[in-house]
Amino acid sequence: MTFATPDLMDAAPNAAVIELQFRNLGAHPRFSGRAVTIKCHEDNSLVKQCVAEPGDGRVIVVDGGGSLRQALLGDMLAAEAADNGWAGLVINGAIRDVDDIAVTALGVQALGVTPRKTDKRGEGQRDIVVHIGGARIAPGDYIYADNNGVVVSAEPLL
């Protein structure tokens, strides 16, 4: 599937844009799918649980509160996500192991990088509405991500 988020916004100007400057860090610079949402702060326990499930081409949207102190995704979880059929992750926070993730068959957009892993406290929420960068993302919304940014829509745009 080929798309460009600027073209999607031209065709659907009421779609939402996550108004953050994400870095495109995965091997797939363009990815899309239905959203699975996670809200967590410096604890990637729910991300770990999620990537272990069948992805079916979906996108994990992680609201990490914008923290760059601890990575919510590393090489092992990224590899598991790719192996289980996830299209990608959009992370309002940091990742690590960027050289390995850059060659993993997965789309990954994040705010930044850090070498520090997260604590594992089992905290967070899943499958809730999250608000990131002025956009409301509900479970099941359509996510479209490329080098231009991330578009969110309740209806499919393709």
Numbered residues of the known binding site: 74-77, 96-97
- Sign of the CA dihedral running 65, 106, 78, 142: positive
Render 101-140 in DSSP notation, one character per residue.
Answer: HTTSSSEEEEEEE-SPBPB-----EESS-EEETTEEE-TT
**Residue 135 bridge partners (DSSP):** 132
Annotated binding site for Mg(2+): 97
Structure tokens given for 20: 């953050």
Structure tokens given for 143: 């996510």
Annotated binding site for substrate: 74-77, 96
